[in-house]
Structure 1
Amino acid sequence: MNLVKKTLLLAVLMVFAFSSVVFALNQEVYPIKGKHKGGDVTPKEAYKMLRKDPKNTFIVDVRTRTEYQDIGHPIGAYNIPWKFYTTKVGKKGYKKVLNKNFCNDLKARFNPETDTLLMMCRSAARTIASTTAAVDCGFKADKVFNLLGGFEGDKVKDKNSPFYGQRMIGGWRLEGLPWTYKMDKNLIYQPDLKK
């Protein structure tokens, strides 16, 4: 085998090996956290979907109103909370209650026949339930997605890391995708505007 063929073969093998490592790393950063009735997308995949069909693709930020406002949110994300904070305090802080109007809130903003929903929370845990809820209330399963990693990503689990316990693994914000603190009245939780 001459030198050119060997070099070409080595280059192909290196590309294959690098691609496998990148795929494995992506799976590690964005693990599937549970079963639901929709699909799963990474933040970058979600961003591509938004850019490809901005008239019918929407991020639904299911975090609380406080998280949406104080931690920030993707530009253009609609806030429809999956749960609300209560005034009752438990062992882990303020308790939350399910948004009983979640399905109606979705249908008031989006078309179940044509719209693609990218469900997002802090780290993609609440979106498992909210993705299934969106499908159960009439949105097509192939058009509802759990945004893996959420807005903030997962916590560092290495106890030896100076970042242990901090949300620094994956997520919309850490991927460097567009986000803001700006509160647009067209995007915030609409029932609040009627109070």
Structure 2
Amino acid sequence: MRKILVVLLAFSLLAAPLAAAARTAQKAKTITPLEAWEMMSQDARDTFMIDVRPRHMYTLLGHPPRAYNIPWRFLTTDFQVEGGAYGGGAAEYTGYQLSAEPNPNFIGVVTSLFKPGDRLIVICQNGDQAADAADALVEAGFKNVHAVRHGVMGEPFIPADEQKLAQKFSPHYGQGGRVNGWVYWGLPLVRSIEPRLIYPPDLKKMQSTQ
């Protein structure tokens, strides 16, 4: 029962940020979850996945096997109502907000772990942050970067331009349903945490307190 409650809580906290359709990378290559898994299955020697979701998503919702967790943005304790002032703009959803600015150590951490020629596959919850992070890696000099479209959980089953109509007329509105993501295609997820895969500053901090 406790596990079910934790999962339900996690989804309730994360549902709002996923309403909009995902962005597409402008400089990195865009691939599907199926293509990402094929790449990881064929040659693991120089192919690495970076899960750029905040730590709680990586842990509670599960992550692709062998995926490094290097957050692009962090979860904050700043609770805002959709449309309220946040980070110089408007909050995109009602709930605890993600950091308005990207992780300032993101590029440095990735550079410390991988070579410029490594094939890097970047994934997030629905594709937005992966697109932004992957483009930033290309700008930083990484040559072979791929952003996973639709991410782990996928995009809403209801198209963005039909959301209001569905809310008004459909008895099934609000029952969830996401398509095209890692989960939708039945690809493997794990919840075990390997120390070598967690955000390196967290591991360093843990070791310094022992």
Give TM class, smaller chain.
0.7 to 0.9
Asked if residue 38 in structure 1 is aligned to residue 49 in structure 2, the reply is no
Aligned mates of 2:153, 2:63 — CA distance in 1: 9
CA distance in 2, matches of 1:49, 1:161: 40
**Alpha-carbon distance in 2 for matches of 1:136, 1:103:** 10
Distance (whole Å) between structure 1 residues aligned to residue 34 and residue 25 of structure 2: 21
| Equivalent position amino acid for 2:104 in 1 | K
For the 8 Å contact 1:156–1:165, the answer to whether it is kept is no
Question: 1:194: Cα distance to partner?
Answer: 1.6
Amino acid at match of 2:147: N
Residue 152 (structure 1) shift: 0.5
CA distance in 2, matches of 1:175, 1:146: 17
Residue 100 of structure 1: which of 81, 100, 104 is its match? 104
CA distance in 1, matches of 2:152, 2:110: 20
1:111 correspondence with 2:111: no
Cα shift at 1:95: 2.3
Aligned partners of 1:122, 1:183: CA distance in 2, in Å?
Answer: 18
Structure 1: gaps (5+ residues) = 1-30
**Contact kept in structure 1, 2:22 and 2:126, CA below 8 Å:** no
Structure 1 residue 124 and structure 2 residue 127: aligned? yes
User: In terms of Rg, which structure is larger?
Assistant: 1
Using the size of structure 2 for normalisation, the TM-score is: 0.72
Question: In structure 2, what is the equivalent of residue 193 of structure 1?
Answer: 203
Residue 47 of structure 1, CA deviation: 0.8
Cα 1:110–1:100 change in 2 (3 A) is same
- Which residue of 2 is the match for residue 6 of structure 1? none
- Cα distance in 2 for residues equivalent to 1:146 and 1:71: 20
- Give the counterpart letter for 2:103 in structure 1: N
How far residue 33 of structure 1 moved from its aligned partner, in angstroms, is: 2.8
- Give the partner amino acid of 2:98: K
Are 2:82 and 1:82 aligned? no
Shift of 1:71: 0.6
SS at match of 2:197: coil
Q: Is the 8 A contact 1:119 1:130 kept in 2?
A: yes
Residues 26-76 of structure 1: CA distance to partner in whole angstroms, max 9, x if unpaired? xxxxx8733421101111111111112101111110000000000110011
CA distance 1:62–1:71, shift in 2 (3 Å):
same
Contact map agreement 2:22 2:150 (CA 8 A) in 1: no
Q: TM-score, structure 1 length as denominator? A: 0.77
User: What is the number of equivalent residue pairs in this alignment?
Assistant: 162
Other-structure match for 1:12: none
How far, CA to CA, are the matches of 1:153 and 1:90 in structure 2? 24
Q: Secondary structure at the match of 2:196?
A: coil
Q: CA deviation at 1:165?
A: 6.2
What is the identity, as a one-letter code, of the residue corresponding to 1:139? Answer: F
After superposition, the Cα gap between the structure-2 partners of 1:161 and 1:55, relative to the gap in structure 1 and judged at 3 Å, is farther
Question: Paired residue for 1:26?
Answer: none
Q: Structure 1 CA distance, aligned partners of 2:121 and 2:181?
A: 13
Matched residues, percent identical?
Answer: 35
| Structure 1 residues 147 and 35: CA distance shift in structure 2, 3 A | closer
